[in-house]
Amino acid sequence: MQANAASRTKQPQAAPTTMAAVTGKAGATVLMELLSNSYHTLTETVHRDNLDVLHELSSHQLSEPVAR
């Protein structure tokens, strides 16, 4: 009876090895490089968008003062 109950009990599954791929010094270096690249891409995009807005504002005559 106990053997039957034990066979019905689900055994814990091993955690996915995704985190194992980024452990250790080499994995941490790769992860930091990916985060750094993402950060630089984001800041370049925001900077480019800001320049587009400034260019748009400077090319049009403002009819009303800009509220601050």
13-59 confidence digits (pLDDT tens): 655 566 565 567 777 788 888 888 898 888 999 888 888 888 888 87
Which residue type is seen at 64?
E
The residues spanned by each domain of the chain are 20-58
Cα 29–chain centre separation:
16
What pTM value is reported for the model?
0.40
Neighbours of 50 (CB within 10 A): 10
Q: How far is Cα 42 from Cα 34, in angstroms, rounded to an integer?
A: 12
Q: What is the pLDDT of residues 3-13, one digit of tens each?
A: 555 556 666 66
